[in-house]
């Protein structure tokens, strides 16, 4: 057992972990998995965007970087162009100073990409999206690829015409759903697969036209897990008045109470072998992973699609032998880095692409053998890197992710705050910056909810509401938000009442429906077999192992 140097919690490093660290020639971690995760997430700003000017071409852009705190930010066109050379920002390594301090100086002055996406190249009309690729006509989508006409999605891949979803793959016309795959025209569903036209569903497989139901297999015309004739089903569905916001909220609460009485599978691990975690699929020998697919020999991987022999990477696709990184997509042997794509043998770098053998670099493209953006011959590079590592060891930096002082984001601006909430004083005590005024408007609504019909069926597309011209206030936090014209048409087509909450409150409500990224040992309540589950021991749900759960599936 080891004691975390930050929070003093005990954590383990097993023999398999040691083999992985030895393969990468990195030291064993001194921080617990949660503190390591928080350090990484402090380098992602997923939800707060700022209008500013490109510091190269001066055109107006949208960026994740607050112009009051971060300088030298480039638009996509300028960043990816050959009009500037990142090597001009190169600096000599100083053996007498901490490496993180020198890297921070480089990060502050080197150009940064305004928004991590391929908008304008692989993606089209996706200006307000973050960490995406191959999208089209979408808005406020995060950590996703291959999607079209989608709004407010997180980890939605190969999707079309979807709004307000979390980790939904290969689906169409989905609304407010989580961890679903190959579904069509479903609303308020979770852990469903191959199902169509379902509303308020949990763990439905191959179902059609099911409402307020859970654990069904290949069923049609069910409400509350009870079968009906086709005529009875549609008559009762109409009586539920799901087009009404008040009625739908009542059904949502009743469904939550209904689910507490339904036995749950200990974890959602379809087509997995020797895996632990939750909501991972088609994976093998991967432990404590969450919201991922196609993992092989991995640990502590979160949010992504494909990885092999990787530890502790967040929101990524097909990396191999990568460790403690943010989004090392299609990369090999990249460690302690942020957004380095299609690269090999890199360490402690940010936004470097199609490169190899870089250490402590920022914004490099198609580069090789550079330290702090200064290019070297292969021989000099290989001779200097051990000296840099020795310096980092002396300052207790080697093997740690970047220190809090390095991140360009305030703590409450970053994804770290979402997963590991701290107040401003505690964040500052740990070395993070705090932003007292995050983006968002209040008190600028143009219409009150009292003047908006409860039913979407009563609102016409020709009205100011239908044309997306009104500004609303969130009934939970008071923040202003709009319902765009295309968004309204989606609600109208699906008979979905207009949301009364802002996009952030809706996102956090979806996320709250998912279990925490933490495992507890529990016994199956039917056969007493031991399982590792994300259902805490004090939760009211009945938990079954996979074998026992299969015996009760309808």
Residue 553 has pLDDT above 80, yes or no: no
User: How buried is residue 425: exposed, middle or buried, by Cβ count under 10 Å (0-12/13-18/19+)?
Assistant: exposed
pLDDT of residue 344: 98
Cross-strand pairs, 223: 211, 226
Q: Are 111 and 74 in contact (CB under 8 A)?
A: yes
pLDDT of residue 491: 98
Q: Which of 112, 107, 151 is CA-nearest to residue 132?
A: 151
Using N-to-C axis directions, what is the helix angle for 99-109 and 378-394, rounded to 10°?
120
- Digit-coded pLDDT (tens) for 218-271: 999 999 999 999 999 999 999 999 999 999 999 999 999 999 999 999 999 999
Q: Beta strands 2-3 and 356-359: pairing type?
A: unpaired
Cross-strand pairs, 91: none
Other Cβ atoms less than 10 A from the Cβ of 512: the count is: 9
Average pLDDT, the chain: 96
- Digit-coded pLDDT (tens) for 154-207: 999 999 999 999 999 999 999 999 999 999 999 999 999 999 999 999 999 999
- The distance between the two most distant Cα atoms of the chain, rounded to a whole number of Å, is 80
pLDDT of residue 424: 96
Average pLDDT over residues 69-83: 95
Determine the number of helices (DSSP H) and then strands (DSSP E) in the chain: 12, 32
Other Cβ atoms less than 10 A from the Cβ of 493: the count is: 12
Residue 431 has pLDDT above 70, yes or no: yes
Question: Could you tell me the sign of the dihedral formed by the alpha carbons of 207, 210, 215, 216, in that order?
Answer: negative
**For residue 337, is it left (φ>0), alpha (ψ between -120 and 50) or beta?**
beta
- Digit-coded pLDDT (tens) for 306-359: 999 999 999 999 999 999 999 999 999 999 999 999 999 999 999 999 999 999
Query: Which of 96-101's residues contact partners 24+ apart within 8 Å by CB, and which partners?
Result: 98/391, 98/392, 98/395, 98/397, 99/348, 99/360, 99/388, 99/391, 99/392, 99/395, 99/397, 100/395, 100/397, 100/402, 100/403, 100/405, 100/406
First to last CA, the chain: 44
Q: At CA 210, angle to CA 504 and CA 459, rounded to 5?
A: 50
Residue 16 has pLDDT above 80, yes or no: yes
3 state DSSP class of 424: helix
* Whole-number Å distance between alpha carbons of 406 and 322: 21
DSSP 430: T
Total-model pTM: 0.94
Residue 554 has pLDDT above 70, yes or no: no
């Amino acid at each position: 057992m080891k004691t975390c140097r930050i929070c003093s919690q005990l954590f383990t490093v097993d023999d398999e972990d040691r083999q992985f660290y030895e393969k990468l020639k990195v030291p064993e971690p001194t921080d617990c998995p949660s503190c390591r995760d928080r350090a990484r997430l402090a380098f992602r700003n997923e939800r707060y965007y700022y209008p500013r000017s490109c510091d190269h071409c001066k055109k107006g852009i949208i960026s994740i970087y607050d112009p009051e705190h971060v300088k030298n930010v480039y638009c996509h066109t300028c960043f990816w162009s050959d009009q500037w050379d990142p090597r001009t920002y190169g600096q000599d390594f100083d053996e007498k100073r901490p490496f993180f301090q020198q890297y921070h100086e480089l990060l502050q002055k080197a150009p940064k990409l305004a928004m991590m996406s391929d908008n304008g190249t692989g993606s089209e009309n996706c200006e307000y999206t973050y960490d995406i690729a191959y999208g089209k006509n979408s808005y406020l989508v995060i950590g996703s690829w291959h999607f079209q006409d989608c709004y407010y999605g997180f980890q939605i891949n190969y999707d079309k015409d979807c709004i307000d979803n979390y980790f939904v793959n290969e689906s169409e016309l989905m609304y407010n759903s989580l961890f679903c795959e190959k579904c069509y025209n479903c609303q308020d569903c979770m852990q469903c697969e191959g199902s169509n036209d379902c509303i308020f569903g949990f763990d439905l497989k191959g179902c059609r036209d099911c409402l307020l139901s859970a654990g069904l297999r290949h069923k049609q015309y069910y409400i509350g897990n009870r079968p009906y004739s086709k005529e009875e089903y549609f008559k009762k569905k109409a009586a539920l008045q799901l087009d009404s916001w008040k009625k739908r909220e009542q059904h949502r609460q009743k469904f939550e109470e209904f689910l507490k009485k339904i036995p749950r599978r200990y974890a959602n691990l379809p087509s997995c072998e020797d895996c632990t975690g939750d909501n991972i699929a088609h994976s093998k020998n991967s432990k404590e992973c969450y919201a991922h697919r196609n993992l092989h020999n991995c640990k502590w991987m979160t949010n992504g699609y494909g990885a092999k022999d990787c530890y502790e990477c967040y929101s990524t696709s097909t990396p191999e032998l990568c460790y403690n990184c943010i989004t090392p997509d299609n990369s090999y042997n990249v460690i302690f880095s942020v957004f380095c794509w299609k690269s090999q043998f890199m360490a402690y770098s940010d936004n470097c692409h199609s490169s190899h053998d870089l250490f402590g670099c920022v914004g490099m493209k198609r580069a090789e053998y550079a330290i702090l953006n200064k290019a070297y011959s292969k021989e000099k590079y290989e001779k200097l890197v051990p000296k840099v590592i020795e310096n980092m060891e002396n300052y207790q930096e080697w093997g740690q992710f970047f220190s809090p002082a390095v991140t360009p984001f305030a703590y409450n601006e970053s994804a770290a705050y979402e997963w590991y909430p701290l107040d401003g004083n505690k964040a500052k005590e740990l070395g993070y910056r705090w932003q007292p005024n995050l983006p968002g408007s209040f008190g600028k609504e143009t219409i009150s909810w009292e003047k908006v019909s409860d039913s979407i069926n009563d609102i016409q597309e020709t009205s100011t509401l239908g044309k997306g011209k009104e500004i609303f206030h969130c009934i939970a936090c008071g923040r202003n938000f709009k319902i765009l014209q295309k968004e309204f048409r989606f609600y109208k087509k699906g008979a979905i009442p207009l949301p009364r909450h802002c996009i952030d409150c809706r996102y956090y409500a979806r996320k709250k429906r998912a279990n925490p990224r933490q495992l507890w040992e529990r016994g199956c309540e039917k056969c007493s077999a031991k399982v590792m589950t994300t259902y805490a021991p004090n939760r009211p749900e009945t938990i079954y192992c996979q074998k026992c759960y299969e015996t009760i599936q309808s």
